[in-house]
Every structure is written in structure tokens, then in C-alpha cells.
Structure 1
Amino acid sequence: MEEEQSVAKLPLIEAECSARLGISNIDYDQDQHGGVGSLDSAGAPVETRSTAVLCICTFAAACAAFTGGCLASYSSLAESGIIADLGLTVTEYSVFGSIMTGGAMLGAVISGRMTDFIGRRRTLWVLDIFYIVGWLAIIFAEGAWLLDLGRLSLGIGFGLTCYVGPVYLAEITPKNVRGLLMSISQSMTGYGASFTFLVGSFVTWRSLAIIGCIPSLLLLLALFFIPESPRWLDYIENQRLQQNSDDNVLNLFRRKYLHIVIIGVGLMVVQTSDGLCGFLFYMSEIFDSAGISSTLGFILVAVVQASATGQCLGCFLTGLSYFLQVYKFEGIYCDTPYDK
């Protein structure tokens, strides 16, 4: 039965990869590193084309993560300008700053079901629409309600990004470069925040929103060229073949899985309970209350976050270490977006 399912899923994967890579007669075979290789009609590896597709996929995930970093640090930089231009009270601006977290929670809740139902690539389309709509709402806002709507939309997009971005990139990349490419993508959140801190110190809040929208537009362009996740196509085919499957989210609460769930959820709770979001959202007021120039504070935070002691380089080095550990400094043979 398992062999029949493996055979049944190949046409779906082959059709998708052939269409996106521009290759005919793809033959899935075991490559020298234990992954799945692809050959063109002449029997040669299609390394160049598939590497280009992998670069575009990584670029798309990086744009989504970069936008998340931009919007996370946006409210602290725009606080004084928005309050002065639109006449918002402290309470109204507090709603604007914090509503993104509510949107992110909503996006995170629906992300799993959405990515399984409509696919990873279509979910990237959805989150990018939320990003673009959110930034446009802030750019053209003349009152608190449109600001809040835009911030909420950005939060939903960010909540979707936190799930579908890593999942899509992990499923589309071969295992020989997976750690490296995922670390590059994830570090973009830190780089986005650092970039916003630097640029936001010298431009108005509307201009900063326009700049923040640029990665979303680049993501929109990249989405036309990236393939659907072959593993999701495999999942859909298996769902068709196993219509009576008893898979259920409640299975996570069985005794044999319970300790894993507790550890995973506990780590996320601890990570989000350190007050980092409050610091990022209201950094301007914090620096002013401490008697420190907010502009100087923003620049220092950006430098520290993007330096060797920041999370960005840390993520990159972590991915690089996995890459070198697996390959032991051997050459990269990356010719397909699907491996087992």
C-alpha cells in the first residue's frame, strides 16, 4: 500500500516541478547525497534551473520575514509623528501599537488549517495581500480607525508568515542546504527591524510606511515564479488515498505526545513573555523617559541587533554550522526542490 501511494504521488510532483522549472520528462532518482535528484530529457542534472528557483523561493520567504521585522519596529518610530499629525491620544496610539499582536494571534490560529487547505503558495499570496492592504491603510490614514485597521491587517499577515514561511522553505529546499537557507530567511526579521530603526530616524511616518511596503511588493513579484510545495502535493494525494484517516489535532494530547507539546508550547510562552514586544512597540517613549535621544537609541539598537552579538548573525552561523556538519565541506549538489 505504501509503495502504491509513493507511485501515485509522483505525477502530481512531477507536473508541478516541470511546470515551474521549465523541464520536461523529470525522472526522480536518488542523488549522491541521499536526496531525490532530477534529470532533464538528455539525462543531465538540472542544477542551474532548480538552483535559480530555490533562490527565488528563499527570496520570497526572506521578503515576508523582512516585512515582519519592519512592522514590528514601526510603531515605536512613528509614535511622535502620528500623534502630532493626526492628533491621537495616548490611549488611541496604544491601541494602534498593540493591535498588531492581536492580529498576529489570529493569523497564527488560522495559519495551520489554511496552509493545509489551500496550499503553502496560496497562503503566501494571502499574507502578502494582508501586508499590502495594511501598509496602504497606514499610508493613507487620516484617523485612528484606518490606522488600527492597517495595523491589524499587518499583524494577521505576520502571524501567517511565522508559520508558512519556515514550513514552505523547509519543504521546498533539499536537505543539503535547508539549514543555511532557512537561517538566512529567518534572520531577515532582525534585519528588517534594524533597517527600520536606521531609516525611520530620518524620514516621516508615512514615508517609512511606503518603504515598509516595498518588500511586500517584491514578494508579490516573486510569487509568480515559485512552485507549490511538493510535500503539500504529496499530502493532498495521501489525503485522497486515505479518506478514512483518523488524524486529528486531539491526537497531540495523547500521553505519548503530551510532554512534547508541553515543552514546545512552554518554550513559546517563555519566549513571548520577556516583554520584547512592549519594548519594540514603544521604544521611543522609553528612551525619552530615560533622558536618552530616541534617534541615538534607535541607531544603537539597530547596530546591536545587526551586529555579531545580535540574533541575525547568530541565526546565520547556526544554519551554516548545520550545513558544514552535513556536508563536511563538500560541494553543493542542489538540483531539485524535493527530497525525502
Structure 2
Amino acid sequence: MAIKEDVENCVQEEMRQPLMQDQKNLANGQEGSSQGSNKGHPWMVYFSTFVAVCGSYSFGSCAGYSSPTQTAIREDLSLSLAEYSVFGSILTFGAMIGAITSGPIADFIGRKGAMRMSAAVCVAGWLCIYFAEGAVALDIGRLATGYAMGVFSYVVPVFIAEIAPKNLRGALTTINQFMICAGVSVAFIIGTVLTWRVLALTGLVPCGILVLGLFLIPESPRWLAKKGNQKEFETALQKLRGRDVNISEEADEIQDYIATLELLPKPKIIELFQKRYSRSVIIGVGLMVCQQFGGINGVCFYTGTIFETAGFSSSVGTITYACIQVVVTGMGAFFIDRAGRKPLLLVSGTGLVLGCALAAIAFYMKVNELALQAVPILAVTGILLYIASFSAGMGAVPWVVMSEIFPINIKGRAGSLATLVNWFGAWLCSYTFNFLMTWSTYGTFILYGAINALAILFVFIVVPETKGRTLEEIQAAINT
């Protein structure tokens, strides 16, 4: 054991050397790799991000499809409420399967290959829904689109994080969440004027753009380096950074880091919790727990019901929620590389607690018949503050941090684990919400407020700031 620990310590020390040397070079006035890359115009990074987030938009389209189509599908296909409930909820089971397989697939066939495969499955799912004449075909299609969602939720932010220079990485990765919100909102709005079959066909559009765009963008240079494809690695990195940019130092840093990681044994799932990886796994999985168990899917899935219970117009409240979610998520993308990841998480968590407190007070007043005229506006204010706060940080930042903290040799397995936890939390929260509201309307929001308060404590104590650091610097600092 002592020999093994000595070897691992040596390996970890070697991992730090390139990073320490790069910092010394910067201190001596020499240009680091990231500085050199910033001289070129990152148009290919922007274009590659646009292509990748078409998968995020497709994710949102899948998530938003069931809400505006419930009545029409049930009438056209004579479905019972239970059958439609299966159709709606089976999406999360497909996403869990996608989450489990997303990491290994992305490691085996590449980030582009995983997105291409996911888009194909999503297209098949939408066509299955479009041609459905009964519950079985609907459920198969919904399961397929859910699987695609699970893969997209992991591979899109990882791909963006691996291609982006450090000064753009946070903002570009946050666009993933923005496009998810946009997909949900557009599906909800156009679903009120289109038939459910035509709405299913609109889901093919982002998948088509993604598949075509993948032929025009490079693969992740870090994945190519990990696979030992030296020529393709340099070509991809040069294409991303600009034709006239000197990429030698950045290329050397990436290769040195990956070469050192290759000296470590390939971890199994249980080995992710060993000391050298435990902190990054705790951070990644912990942020997913904070994101989902604070009640977001219960609130989002049943926003209309919450407003009706509080005595407020469901349609007005839902449209307002959709607009706020898109706008605030866009603002979060602007600030994430300026304010940093950790401050956004702390501000977001504080807003979530306050939103839950206002909603809890409103429903407590309604139950006890206190100042009933103030209940609707107080409840709506609380829910909209909750949604805005989640969109500002807790919605997007955990995915950004997850894409940054895992070393590339464990990124597949660890990313799959974090994504699986996220989707399990989404299912559990949405499944239990109605039971909790039946138990106690104000008690539900007190519970969510308490969980979000614990999330603030977790972020403050455990989560590091990753703004302005290369992936190699972040991972070496966390896992040593």
C-alpha cells in the first residue's frame, strides 16, 4: 500500500508540474496558451457551441411537449388519465437510461458521435409519436425522446467546456440551460395553436440542424488527445483557436495532463469515491442534489395548479413564468464569467429560500383564512421569485461546474453518475409533489426552503470557484 501511495503521489505531483510551469511563465511575462488563443477570433468556438446547443433546444422541446397537448392527445386517442400520466412520466425514465449510458458512449465514440446518435434516437421518437394510433406507440416515442434528453444533458455541456477557452467557457456552457428554457417555452406557446402531431414534427427541426452542423465542426480536442489521435487533435485545436494562433503551449499542457492521467488505473464506479477523486464527485453529485431536491420540477410541472390553488390566473402566471425564465437565464449566461460560479449559486440559493418562504406564508394565510386578499399576489410573487432565482444560477451553474471538475479519465463514469442523480431527483420531486401538497401546501414550501438553505451551506463550504482557470488547473487543484 505504501508503494502504491508513493506512486500515486508522484503521478499527482507530475500533474501539477505543467500547470506550475505555465504559471511561472506567465509571471515572467511570457504568453500562456490561453492568452495566445485569445488573439484569434473564436468564431469556430461560437459556431460549434451553436450547433451543440441545438441538442439543448431539442431537450427543451421534449420536456415542454406534454403540457399543451394533454387534452388533444387524450381526446384523439381516447386515453385515460392514467395512460396519459404514463406517457408524461416515462420521459424521465428514458432520461435516466440516457444518463447512465451517456458517459461511456461519449468516451467511446466521441462527443460528436454521442450527439449524432442522440439526435437520431430523438428523431425516431418524434416520428413514433407523430404516427401513433395508441398508447403503446406514444410511450415508445416518449421513452426514445427521453433517452435523447438524458444523453444531451451530459454531452452538450461537456463538449462546450472542452472546446471553449477559459474566458468564454462559463458563458458558453450556460447557453445550454438557456436553450433548454427556450425549447420548453416555445413548445408551450406554439403548442396552443398547432395540433399535437404537427408539434411533434417541429421537434425534428433542431435535430436536423444538429446533425448537419456536426459535419462542419471539429471534435473535442481533449477527447482526441485522450484517444491518441495526435494529428486530429492539433487540427481541431487550431481550427477552434484560429488559423494564425500559436497553439503549441496549450496543446502541450493538454497532452501533458492527459499523459499523466493515463498512468493512473482506469476507475470503476466504486473507485470514483476513493480519496483522489472523492472531492470532484462530491461536488458534481452534490450540486445535482441541490438543484433537483429543492423542488424545481414539482414547481415547474405544476405551476398552473399552484397558481389556481392560490386563486391566481393559471394562464397569466404560466406565461409570465416562461418569459422570466428565459430572460433571467440569459442574464445568468452574461454574468457567469464576470461574477463567477460560486457567487451566482449563493445568490440563486438565497432567492430560492426567500421564494419558498413567501409561498409558504401565502398558503399558511389561506389555510388559516388570514388576509385572504393578499394570498394570490404573495404566492405569485414567491413562485416567480423562486423561478427567477433558479434560472439565475442553480439551473445552469451546476452543469457548468460538472463539466469542469472531472478529470478526463473519469469524466465519462462520473458524469453519468451525476446526470443519473439529477434525473432521479427530477423524477422523485415531480412524483411526490402532489402528495406533499395534499399533506400540507405551506409545509411543502417550508420543506423545499429548508433543502435550499442546506444547498447554500453546501455551496459555501464545498464548491470551489472555477472562473478564469483552465480545466487542467481546476482538476489538478481539486483532485490532489
Deviation at 1:281?
Answer: 4.5
Match of 1:311 in 2: 329
- Relative to 1, partners in 2 of residues 1:142 and 1:194: Cα closer, same or farther, differing over 3 Å? same
Maintained 8 Å contact 1:184/1:316: no
Maintained 8 Å contact 2:127/2:141: yes
- Relative to 1, partners in 2 of residues 1:98 and 1:252: Cα closer, same or farther, differing over 3 Å? same
Maintained 8 Å contact 2:65/2:187: yes
Match of 2:267 in 1: 248
- Relative to 1, partners in 2 of residues 1:260 and 1:61: Cα closer, same or farther, differing over 3 Å? same
Q: Which deviations, in whole Å up to 9, do the C-alpha atoms of 1:279-306 show, x marking residues without a partner?
A: 5456666667777665444422212212
Q: Which deviations, in whole Å up to 9, do the C-alpha atoms of 1:245-282 show, x marking residues without a partner?
A: 51213332224543553443233124223443345456
Deviation at 1:195?
Answer: 1.8
- Relative to 1, partners in 2 of residues 1:199 and 1:319: Cα closer, same or farther, differing over 3 Å? farther
Q: What is the one-letter code of the residue matched to 2:287?
A: L
Deviation at 1:187?
Answer: 1.5
- Relative to 1, partners in 2 of residues 1:270 and 1:295: Cα closer, same or farther, differing over 3 Å? same
- Relative to 1, partners in 2 of residues 1:89 and 1:287: Cα closer, same or farther, differing over 3 Å? farther
Mapped partners of 2:139, 2:308: distance in 1: 24
Match of 2:33 in 1: 34
- Relative to 1, partners in 2 of residues 1:294 and 1:183: Cα closer, same or farther, differing over 3 Å? same
Deviation at 1:202?
Answer: 2.4
Q: What is the one-letter code of the residue matched to 1:299?
A: I
Mapped partners of 2:203, 2:77: distance in 1: 20
- Equivalenced residue count is 290
| Match of residue 61, structure 2, among 65, 70, 87 | 70
Mapped partners of 1:145, 1:284: distance in 2: 28
Mapped partners of 2:124, 2:33: distance in 1: 43
- Of 87-96 and 137-146, deviating more is 137-146
- Of 109-118 and 176-185, deviating more is 176-185
The 5-angstrom pairing of residues 168-187 of structure 1 reads: 168-187=159-178
Deviation at 1:243?
Answer: 7.8
Mapped partners of 2:64, 2:175: distance in 1: 20
Residue 226 of structure 1 aligns to a residue whose secondary structure is: coil
Match of 1:211 in 2: 202
Residue 194 of structure 2 aligns to a residue whose secondary structure is: coil
Normalization by structure 1: what TM-score? 0.74
The 5-angstrom pairing of residues 255-274 of structure 1 reads: 255-258=275-278, 260-274=280-294
Mapped partners of 2:156, 2:309: distance in 1: 37
Deviation at 1:61?
Answer: 1.7
Deviation at 1:223?
Answer: 1.0
Maintained 8 Å contact 1:97/1:281: no
Mapped partners of 1:58, 1:141: distance in 2: 34
The 5-angstrom pairing of residues 1-340 of structure 1 reads: 32=31, 34-35=33-34, 47=40, 51-237=42-228, 245-249=264-268, 250-258=270-278, 260-281=280-301, 295-307=315-327, 310-321=328-339
Q: What is the one-letter code of the residue matched to 1:246?
A: P
Mapped partners of 1:222, 1:293: distance in 2: 42
Q: Between Structure 1 and Structure 2, which shows a larger proportion of helix residues?
A: 2
Maintained 8 Å contact 1:60/1:223: yes
Mapped partners of 1:61, 1:234: distance in 2: 20
Deviation at 1:193?
Answer: 1.4
Mapped partners of 2:304, 2:192: distance in 1: 10
Q: What is the one-letter code of the residue matched to 1:35?
A: S
Mapped partners of 1:276, 1:84: distance in 2: 30
- Of 192-201 and 268-277, deviating more is 268-277
- Of 232-241 and 154-163, deviating more is 232-241
* Residue segments in structure 1 that go unaligned for 5+ positions in a row: 3-30, 39-44, 324-337
- Of 191-200 and 136-145, deviating more is 191-200
Deviation at 1:178?
Answer: 1.7
Higher relative contact order (CA 8 A, sep 6+): 1
Deviation at 1:133?
Answer: 1.2
Residue 306 of structure 1 aligns to a residue whose secondary structure is: helix
- Relative to 1, partners in 2 of residues 1:94 and 1:68: Cα closer, same or farther, differing over 3 Å? same
Residue 228 of structure 1 aligns to a residue whose secondary structure is: coil
Maintained 8 Å contact 1:79/1:284: no
- Relative to 1, partners in 2 of residues 1:316 and 1:132: Cα closer, same or farther, differing over 3 Å? farther
- Superposition CA RMSD, Å: 3.4
Normalization by structure 2: what TM-score? 0.54
- Relative to 1, partners in 2 of residues 1:288 and 1:209: Cα closer, same or farther, differing over 3 Å? farther
- Of 119-128 and 272-281, deviating more is 272-281
- Of 151-160 and 204-213, deviating more is 204-213
Maintained 8 Å contact 2:115/2:155: yes
